[in-house]
């Protein structure tokens, strides 16, 4: 084991502090009945250690004037914080003992905590993993985001249909955040731009805003694992700048006095629940601007505290990473600030932006590539729009036309403005033009960014487009969520694998060791027993831990193809009905997924899975060989329970559609075997584990292109595959929805008359075949154990520490705390 940083508290000291907080912070002496109060007291105790480290971290970086990375993301899917903070501070055992002494199990205390669900899916969770790695690796980093009053909605099922209810994560306060009134920012918006002629013939632009909103920062400390660092996630809450119009109030106009405040506070009210679709709403645009403006002002303030008005080092000290196009307006805001407030010449300001910003692209899906109307821009940010046009002019004249002289078509294609009935701003183009690096999130995705999405930009800026494959933090996604497996790995690996995940590769040599296999699989079995209890509690369905636990957990989206496994479930059910002795190992399909509230087909897929589950789970004829459960309210905390218990990881997106995926990494790390397409990070997972330890099926990106070039016709599959036909026809009957025929027809329609946009039918037969191979492999216990062990052992590449090191080496050029002397 690497030398651990000394434990900051003993169990006795910890307990004493918890009691002090119960007495003097909460006045709760009857704590035996109040685990929530105990949770709060434990958090406050942990915070004493955390804030001391935070102060030390800040002091160090001030003294060393360290370069910082500023991660701008509209989403952070943090999950619960306590267990992770305890692990990272090496206080887990101490807290466990202390809490036991007070009469509680630590796990029950964790259960009192709320998820910080300030994100939708992969992108937000990636941001959370990156913050963990940055702190663990002692880099100077700040995460910036929005302090949503309501995070991602809670999901319930009513008669199989998704019902959304608001997330009240901080209704009674959040022990992990602290308000920083000293860092409040005032944010102008709306209004008009005045052009003032200077005496030297130049002009000065003055933006007279129509409204000012206050941005109030809340800091959430980010604790590194076994490191010196505590960084900060700074989340902006919007408030009215002058709290209340007293005159209006006194004149009896109470409603109106409130309305300005209400309007301002609406901005940070709620997270938009769309993953990979552009909401296109004015409020969303204002959210983006609001958090960008607050963050840019904060970054400049922090810089000025060290360097005064000397801008010469700004680009050496500050890097800003744009997480997708959502924070693009930060570029325009920095331009505006430099020119209008610090008198920069246009070219100097533009050059500065090009040295500071880098952009991560997370998707090729057209519906996720943001565009905002010029009209909206003009209304909300008239000065920013002027600057955008000036950048476009420079870009088209100085770069595009020089590279492709006289090529108007190219100018139109690359312009930051899409011409049409309404002019639209292409946010991704602005990012590419103004960033010094642009990265995709898995090798295949980055290749497609170059070849299909931005080929001309790649020609224009040959070194700009690059790859950084995603990763996940092994602290949360193995050490904390799978303690038994972690202990087993501790016994075999002599270094701290949680900080050096590639060291797990040494476990591969035990893959054929019978005793090790038994231990490994016994742990999996125990985790399955625990998950079975959770499934029973949340769905009422009894499942056997001896069955294959086949897991598909991710946002509900057609391209992720939950309906492909749904179709396969129908096929298995049919086979079993035709022959109750059909040879298959019992399998439990476990789904977890939220659908965007406005995404009709996604909700229909949830409904259909729930309806088929009802039927299958209660059909004695199939002797319990097939079970289907849809666990409600999928979130980080639920993922932490499902992942350690998974045998099979479903990663079955249409090739070319899933940029990376990160659930695929978490599941494999915990010993699940992947069945998947050659898409996103699956490709690299396959490279690491080897073909024998993964089930790859289906059309590749090139196959799909060829299919489409020949004119894809889903009816070819329907007419030629008896199983496909029978399953699709089944959906029109009332077999699963008694008395209501056609209730599940939407899926069949989309796959046939809808053109099967995600080419599900083209992959069905090969998927079914791969499942037969998987079933056979599972029946061979030693073979399966070997596969599971190899998956865990070979996940070293997919730690987010490696991703961060790639960003640091190739993009951010940071030096960690310890190396700065
Ligand atoms: O980002 C993940 C990828 C995943 C991709 C996801 C994502 C969102 O969650 C939201 C918007 C977006 O453009 C992309 O779908 O493949 O793993 C992190 O990179």
pLDDT at 75 over 90: yes
User: What is the Å distance from ligand 1's center to 591 Cα?
Assistant: 19
654 close to 561: Cβ distance less than 8 angstroms: yes
Query: Which atom from ligand 1 is nearest to the alpha carbon of 363?
Result: 13
∠ CA 758-603-572, nearest 5°, is 65
Q: Which of 75, 118, 121 has the most ligand 1 atoms within 8 A of CB, as the residue to mutate? A: 121
* 429 contacts: CB under 8 Å, gap ≥ 6: 414, 415, 416, 457
Query: Which atom from ligand 1 is nearest to the alpha carbon of 445?
Result: 16
For residue 601, the model assigns a pLDDT of 98
pTM of the model: 0.97
Confidence of residue 262 (pLDDT cuts 50, 70, 90): confident
| Averaged pLDDT, 240-255 | 66
pLDDT at 2 over 50: no
User: What is the Å distance from ligand 1's center to 122 Cα?
Assistant: 5
Residue with tokens 């977890």: 592
Q: Which of 362, 384, 476, 563 is catalytic?
A: 362
∠ CA 694-700-704, nearest 5°, is 150
Q: Which of 170, 429, 437, 555 is catalytic?
A: 555
Q: Which of 67, 114, 635, 666 is catalytic?
A: 666
Confidence of residue 579 (pLDDT cuts 50, 70, 90): very high
User: What is the Å distance from ligand 1's center to 659 Cα?
Assistant: 6
Q: Using CA atoms, how far apart are residues 37 and 619, in angstroms rounded to an integer?
A: 45
pLDDT at 277 over 90: no
User: What is the Å distance from ligand 1's center to 363 Cα?
Assistant: 6
Nearest to 654 by CA among 709, 700, 607: 700
User: What is the Å distance from ligand 1's center to 810 Cα?
Assistant: 21
H/E segment holding residue 144: strand 141-146
Q: Using CA atoms, how far apart are residues 612 and 569, in angstroms rounded to an integer?
A: 9
For residue 278, the model assigns a pLDDT of 82
- Closest residue by Cα to atom 1, ligand 1, is 123
Q: What are 436-476's pLDDT values in tens digits?
A: 999 999 999 999 999 999 999 999 999 999 999 999 999 99
Query: Which atom from ligand 1 is nearest to the alpha carbon of 361?
Result: 13
User: What is the Å distance from ligand 1's center to 658 Cα?
Assistant: 8
Q: Which of 120, 123, 321, 639 has the most ligand 1 atoms within 8 A of CB, as the residue to mutate? A: 123
pLDDT at 295 over 70: yes
Q: Rg (Cα) of the chain, in Å, rounded?
A: 27
| DSSP state, residue 662 | S
- Closest residue by Cα to atom 8, ligand 1, is 123
Q: What are 692-712's pLDDT values in tens digits?
A: 999 999 999 999 999 999 999
For residue 819, the model assigns a pLDDT of 75
| DSSP state, residue 754 | T
Nearest to 148 by CA among 239, 272, 262, 268: 268
- Closest residue by Cα to atom 14, ligand 1, is 362
Q: What are 349-384's pLDDT values in tens digits?
A: 999 999 999 999 999 999 999 999 999 999 999 999
589 close to 543: Cβ distance less than 8 angstroms: no
648 close to 774: Cβ distance less than 8 angstroms: yes
| Averaged pLDDT, 121-127 | 98
∠ CA 442-444-450, nearest 5°, is 100
* 742 contacts: CB under 8 Å, gap ≥ 6: 732, 734
Q: Which of 450, 519, 554, 759 is catalytic?
A: 554
Nearest to 141 by CA among 690, 821, 819, 815: 815
Mark whether 662 is an active-site residue.
yes
555, two tokens: 């946002």
pLDDT at 172 over 90: no
Of 340 and 258, the one with more pLDDT: 340
User: What is the Å distance from ligand 1's center to 33 Cα?
Assistant: 42
Query: Which atom from ligand 1 is nearest to the alpha carbon of 276?
Result: 11
Looking at every residue in the chain, the average pLDDT score rounds to 96
| Averaged pLDDT, 260-284 | 89
Q: Which of 284, 361, 362, 679 has the most ligand 1 atoms within 8 A of CB, as the residue to mutate? A: 362
Q: What are 200-240's pLDDT values in tens digits?
A: 988 999 999 999 999 999 999 999 999 999 999 999 999 99
Pairing, β 424-426 against β 417-418: antiparallel
User: What is the Å distance from ligand 1's center to 656 Cα?
Assistant: 13
Nearest to 90 by CA among 196, 201, 289, 228: 228
Q: Which of 659, 667, 680, 684 has the most ligand 1 atoms within 8 A of CB, as the residue to mutate? A: 659
> What residues pair up with 220 in beta bridges, in sequence order?
233
pLDDT at 388 over 60: yes
Query: Which atom from ligand 1 is nearest to the alpha carbon of 658?
Result: 16
For helices 760-779 and 722-730, angle between their N-to-C axes, nearest 10 degrees: 100
Give φ, ψ of 212 to 5 degrees. -125, 135
For residue 1, the model assigns a pLDDT of 42
Query: Which atom from ligand 1 is nearest to the alpha carbon of 662?
Result: 17
| Averaged pLDDT, 103-125 | 97
pLDDT at 725 over 70: yes
DSSP string, 412-464: HHH-SEE-SSS-EEEHHHHHHHH-SEEEESSHHHHHHIIIIISHHHHHHSTTT
Mark whether 429 is an active-site residue.
no
Query: Which atom from ligand 1 is nearest to the alpha carbon of 365?
Result: 13
* 717 contacts: CB under 8 Å, gap ≥ 6: 724, 761, 762, 764, 765
Domains of the chain: 1-64+81-114 (no CATH), 507-801 (3.40.50.2000)
Q: What are 635-670's pLDDT values in tens digits?
A: 999 999 999 999 999 999 999 999 999 999 999 999
| Averaged pLDDT, 741-747 | 98
Q: Which of 53, 154, 336, 560 is catalytic?
A: 560
For residue 280, the model assigns a pLDDT of 84
User: What is the Å distance from ligand 1's center to 123 Cα?
Assistant: 5
- Closest residue by Cα to atom 4, ligand 1, is 661
At CB < 8 A and 24+ separation, what contacts does 346-351 make?
346/390, 350/391, 350/394, 350/434
For residue 258, the model assigns a pLDDT of 64
For residue 472, the model assigns a pLDDT of 99
pLDDT at 246 over 90: no
**Interface predicted TM-score of the whole assembly (ipTM), two decimals:** 0.99
Q: Using CA atoms, how far apart are residues 617 and 637, in angstroms rounded to an integer?
A: 26
Percent of the chain with pLDDT over 70: 97
Pairing, β 673-676 against β 648-651: parallel
Query: Which atom from ligand 1 is nearest to the alpha carbon of 120?
Result: 9
Mark whether 560 is an active-site residue.
yes
Q: Which of 74, 127, 363, 554 has the most ligand 1 atoms within 8 A of CB, as the residue to mutate? A: 363
467, two tokens: 């790859």
Mark whether 469 is an active-site residue.
no
Give φ, ψ of 215 to 5 degrees. -105, 115
User: What is the Å distance from ligand 1's center to 66 Cα?
Assistant: 30
**Which protein residues touch ligand 1 with a CB less than 6 Å away?**
120-123, 126, 275-276, 324, 362-363, 368, 441, 470, 658-662, 680
User: What is the Å distance from ligand 1's center to 775 Cα?
Assistant: 30
């Amino acid at each position: 084991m690497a030398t651990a940083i000394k434990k900051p508290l003993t169990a006795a000291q910890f307990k004493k502090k918890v009691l002090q907080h119960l007495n003097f912070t909460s006045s709760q002496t009857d704590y035996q009945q109040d685990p929530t109060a105990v949770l709060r007291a434990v958090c406050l105790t942990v915070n004493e250690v955390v804030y001391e480290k935070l102060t030390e971290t800040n002091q160090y970086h001030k003294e060393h004037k360290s370069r910082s990375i500023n991660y701008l993301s509209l989403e952070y899917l943090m999950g619960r914080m306590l267990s992770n903070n305890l692990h990272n501070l090496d206080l887990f055992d101490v807290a466990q003992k202390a809490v036991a002494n007070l009469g509680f199990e630590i796990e029950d205390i964790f259960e009192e905590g709320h998820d910080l669900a300030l994100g939708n899916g992969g992108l937000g969770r990636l941001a959370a993993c990156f913050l963990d790695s940055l702190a663990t690796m002692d880099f100077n980093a700040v995460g910036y985001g929005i302090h949503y009053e309501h995070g991602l909605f809670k999901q319930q099922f009513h008669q199989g249909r998704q019902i959304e209810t608001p997330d009240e994560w901080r209704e009674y306060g959040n022990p992990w955040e602290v308000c920083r009134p000293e860092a409040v920012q005032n944010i102008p918006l709306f209004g008009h731009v005045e052009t003032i002629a200077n005496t030297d013939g130049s002009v000065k632009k003055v933006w007279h805003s129509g409204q000012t909103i206050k941005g109030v920062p809340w800091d959430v400390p980010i604790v590194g694992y076994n490191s010196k660092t505590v960084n900060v996630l700074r989340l902006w809450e919007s408030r009215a700048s002058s709290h209340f119009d007293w005159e209006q109030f006194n004149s009896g106009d109470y409603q109106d006095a409130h309305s300005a405040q209400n309007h301002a506070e609406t901005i940070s009210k709620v997270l938009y629940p769309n993953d990979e679709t552009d909401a296109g709403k004015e409020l969303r645009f204002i959210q983006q601007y609001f958090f960008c403006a607050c963050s840019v002002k904060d970054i400049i303030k922090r810089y000025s505290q060290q360097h005064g008005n000397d801008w010469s080092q700004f680009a050496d000290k500050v890097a800003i990473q744009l997480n997708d196009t959502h924070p693009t307006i930060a570029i325009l805001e920095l331009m505006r600030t430099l020119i209008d407030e610090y008198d920069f010449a246009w070219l100097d300001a533009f050059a500065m932006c090009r040295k500071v910003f880098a952009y991560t692209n997370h998707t090729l899906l057209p519906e996720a590539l943001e565009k905002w109307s010029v009209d909206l821009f003009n209304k909300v940010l008239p000065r920013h729009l002027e600057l955008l046009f000036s950048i476009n002019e420079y870009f088209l004249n100085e770069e595009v036309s020089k590279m492709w002289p006289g090529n108007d078509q190219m100018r139109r294609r690359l312009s930051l403005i899409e011409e049409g009935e309404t002019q639209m701003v292409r946010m991704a183009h602005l990012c590419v033009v103004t960033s010094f690096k642009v990265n995709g999130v898995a090798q295949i995705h980055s290749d497609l960014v170059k070849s299909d999405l931005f080929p001309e930009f790649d020609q224009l800026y040959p070194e700009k487009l690059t790859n950084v494959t995603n990763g996940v933090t092994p602290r949360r996604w193995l050490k904390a969520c799978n303690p038994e497996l972690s202990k087993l790995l501790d016994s075999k690996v002599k270094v701290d694998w949680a900080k050096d995940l590639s060291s797990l590769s040494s476990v591969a040599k035990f893959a054929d060791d019978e005793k090790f296999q038994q231990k490994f699989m016994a742990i999996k079995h125990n985790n399955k027993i625990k998950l079975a209890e959770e499934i029973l509690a949340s769905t009422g369905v009894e499942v056997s831990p001896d069955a294959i636990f086949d897991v598909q957990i991710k946002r509900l989206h057609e391209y992720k193809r939950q309906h492909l496994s749904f179709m396969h479930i129908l096929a298995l059910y049919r086979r079993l009905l035709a022959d109750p002795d059909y040879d298959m190992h019992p399998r439990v399909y476990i789904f977890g997924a939220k659908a965007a509230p406005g995404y009709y087909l996604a909700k229909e897929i949830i409904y259909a899975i729930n309806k088929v589950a009802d039927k299958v789970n209660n059909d004695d004829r199939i002797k319990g060989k097939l079970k289907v459960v849809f666990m409600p309210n999928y979130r980080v905390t639920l993922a932490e329970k499902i992942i350690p218990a998974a045998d099979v990881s479903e990663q079955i997106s249409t090739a070319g559609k899933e940029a990376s995926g990160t659930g695929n990494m978490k599941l494999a790390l915990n010993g699940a075997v992947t069945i998947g397409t050659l898409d996103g990070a699956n490709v690299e997972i396959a490279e690491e584990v080897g073909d024998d330890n993964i089930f790859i099926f289906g059309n590749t990106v090139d196959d799909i292109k060829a299919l489409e070039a020949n004119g894809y016709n889903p009816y070819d599959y329907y007419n030629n595959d008896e199983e496909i036909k029978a399953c699709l026809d089944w959906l029109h009957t009332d077999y699963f929805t008694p008395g209501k025929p056609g209730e599940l027809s939407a899926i069949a329609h989309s796959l046939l008359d809808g053109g099967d946009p995600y080419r599900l039918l083209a992959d069905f037969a090969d998927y079914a075949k791969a499942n037969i191979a998987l079933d056979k492999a599972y029946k061979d216990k030693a073979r399966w154990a070997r596969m599971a062990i190899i998956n865990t052992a070979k996940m070293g590449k997919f730690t987010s520490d490696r991703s961060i090191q790639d960003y640091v080496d190739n993009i951010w050029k940071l030096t960690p705390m310890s190396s700065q002397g």
